[in-house]
Amino acid sequence: MLFLRSILFFLLLSHYFFAPIFSGSTEEEEFSEELLLKPLPDRKVLAHFHFDSRAPPSTTHGRHHRIFPKAIAQLVQKFRIREMELSFTQGRWNYERWGGFDPVSSANAKPPGVELWAVFDVPSDQVDSTWKNLTHTLSGLFCASINFLESSTAYASPNWSFRPFSGVLRYGALPREAICTENLTPWLKLLPCRDKAGLSTLMDRPSIYRGFYHSQRLKVISTESGSEDRVELGILLEQTLTVVLQPGELQPSWSLSSIFGRKITGKCVLAKSSTVFIGFERNLISELNDLWKNNEKNWVAETTSGSWNNPVFQLSLSPGRVIEEVNNGHGGNSAILYEFSIENYSDYEPFDVSLTWKRPLFWSPPRAPFHVSRFLMGSGNARGSIAITLKSTELIKGFMGDNVIKDGCKVRIDVFQVVPWYVKVYSHTLQIFVDGEAQIVSEIIEKIWVSPSEDRVSPGLMEMFLRFPCNMKSAVLTIEFDKGLLHIDEYPPDANQGFDIPSAVISFPDFEASMHFLKEHSSESPLLSKFQEKNRVLSYTEILLVPLATPDFSMPYNVITFTCTVFALYFGSMLNVLRRRAGEEERFLKSQASRKVGPLPQLLSKLFGKLRGRPAKASQSLSPSSSILTPKFILKVLLVAGIAVAWHYFSE
């Protein structure tokens, strides 16, 4: 049923909403900047910058660009990129609190570290070498260690679940890459105004890196090579920066200057449009509507003295436009965007909008159908298992009403997971539990693609299409693995920290996160038309930290030293045994025995002689030096030793 509905829905929508996206082939280079600010249910604020640059196809407009960054145009041309996405992320997107079923989260929530995927327009045997060159170029361009994705153990070529390009797509992630300003600066350099003018002046480094989540993304779509008979669009570069910030300690009210510490001093003069949106999501609007119903007061409010006022909140500036989402059956409530154009603001009159709440409001974010989490089980350095849990957020019930009860209803979940080769996953140990009960794996799995890891050559890749009953509360997937042993030179400098396994991607193809607007609104704004694209809902899981057995790195030297010492000892004694003259020694001992002394001093003198490396002197009783070993002397030595022990004992 769900499919039918969604298919019908898309057939309908695609006519209306996708037309403007693909007909956006403009003859001019264009740049536009937009900022979406959204209050989040946990009193934080989401700021989503969206910069969009377009270049017309080079076949008709040449290679020289006015606004479009030269670096990206050359990159696309040199590596024949059809599509590429690179993201630098710090912190984890909180799907529970910040939402997992809206266009921002499904397109801009990224796994921590670096994630890169690219689709090339080259013959399949050249894809790997192109990818390697691309990683090196990007690491130079963005001052990051993306070149670590060059080794074949670091990237995978997903077949169908990640994106619908098989064979020419490569995917790689570096979970441990640290993100900082040195990555942001080259990213800003791609904007015509950098952070000198326009919305990007808000990017005060301390403010944005203080946030809870920081994701800087770059997406390139090109039809330059044009092997398909699509419309020639040229190159489209989409740069987004998504940050989640805390406005104040307790106050949920905020203004631009309070969260960024800066104000907008006019637009970037090269931008076609420069817009700030303040977005209220559906659940917040439904709360507001409930309030209105109770209070009999219209919250969609009145403009008083330049500000936008209603009983619940106040906007310090009156929005240029109020854009309402076209209702598409989400319980009758639709999201609202307040649009502010910053065309007319300048240094003397900076733009600084604020949102003040007049009464506390609680709402729940739009959650993904399942809450996803991944963790490790087992202990020790030999084996363990990975578990992925899916917890229903009751969204499906709301979505489908009574259909859930029926048995036939199934929901599809795609799992895409790349594990490094030293985590040797055993596919046959895959177990699936639904609501705590073990299931027959083949009944749940619709389609599975496993490309096993090869030691030091390629990572393990697992793609699964799973079907679960709609009324399922929770599901667990477990899979066991053995930990591999690395060569001593394969360990990173901080080997004891453990090894990171990149995030798995769990997507819900039955659900599409998109917002729909009237054509007159969306055609002007790349951000809104981006929101209209059908993004499948997906969640990235946590990164796993696998501790591997770490060797003692000084071991080779220890082994060398110990074995060599043993060998040297053995060799020395062998040599001495060979040289030994048994007869002579016996004669010598006899001659000693003839001069008898007391048994104890003789023994001692023998021992002492041995220790000193020379045989006890036969003439000791005659020579004056023999007085060393008299009982008197031994007594003295014992006395001194006793004093030393006592002193040591008492001094402690």
Range 524-583, binding other proteins (CB under 8 A): 557, 560-561, 563-565, 567-569, 571-573, 575-576, 578-581
Closest by CA to 106, choosing from 530, 579, 590, is 530
Diameter over CA atoms, the chain: 128
Q: Round to whole Å and give the CA distance between 112 and 173.
A: 9
Among 6, 291, 609, 626, binds other proteins (CB under 8 A): 609
Q: Is 590 in the site for other proteins (CB under 8 A)?
A: no
Ramachandran sector of residue 113 (left: φ over 0; alpha: ψ -120 to 50; beta: rest): left
Work out the burial of residue 36: count CB atoms within 10 Å of its CB; fewer than 13 is exposed, 13-18 middle, 19 or more buried: buried
Using the minimum distance from each CB to other proteins, give the nearer residue, 196 or 230.
196
Among 359, 590, 614, 632, binds other proteins (CB under 8 A): 614
- Give the nearest distance from C-beta 62 to other proteins in angstroms: 5
CB 138 within 8 A of CB 440: no
The dihedrals phi and psi of 207, each to the nearest 5 degrees, come to -65, -45
Range 7-66, binding other proteins (CB under 8 A): 62-66
Q: Round to whole Å and give the CA distance between 594 and 142.
A: 91
- Give the nearest distance from C-beta 561 to other proteins in angstroms: 5
Range 268-287, binding other proteins (CB under 8 A): 269-270
Q: Round to whole Å and give the CA distance between 562 and 556.
A: 10
Q: Round to whole Å and give the CA distance between 621 and 626.
A: 6
Using the minimum distance from each CB to other proteins, give the nearer residue, 195 or 414.
195
Using the minimum distance from each CB to other proteins, give the nearer residue, 50 or 65.
65
Tokens 């907008």: give the residue: 264
- Give the nearest distance from C-beta 50 to other proteins in angstroms: 20
7-13, long-range: CB < 8 A, 24+ apart: 9/328, 10/512, 10/534, 13/328, 13/516, 13/534
In this structure, the strands spanning 423-434 and 474-483 are antiparallel
Q: DSSP 3-state assignment of 501?
A: strand
CB 204 within 8 A of CB 262: yes
Contact pattern for other proteins over residues 94 through 133, marking x by CB under 8 A: ----------------------------------------
**Which one of 189-197, 237-245, 370-378, 394-402 is the stretch in contact with other proteins (CB under 8 A)?**
189-197
- Give the nearest distance from C-beta 189 to other proteins in angstroms: 5
Range 618-637, binding other proteins (CB under 8 A): 618-619
Tokens 């209209």: give the residue: 532
Q: DSSP 3-state assignment of 533?
A: coil
Range 298-357, binding other proteins (CB under 8 A): 343-344, 346
**Which one of 116-124, 155-163, 193-201, 389-397 is the stretch in contact with other proteins (CB under 8 A)?**
193-201
Among 137, 151, 253, 286, binds other proteins (CB under 8 A): 137
- Give the nearest distance from C-beta 574 to other proteins in angstroms: 9
Among 5, 189, 262, 263, binds other proteins (CB under 8 A): 189
Tokens 């007391």: give the residue: 598
Interaction site with other proteins (CB under 8 A): 62-67, 69-71, 74-75, 77-78, 137, 141, 189, 192-194, 196-197, 266-267, 269-270, 343-344, 346, 557, 560-561, 563-565, 567-569, 571-573, 575-576, 578-581, 585, 609-610, 613-615, 618-619
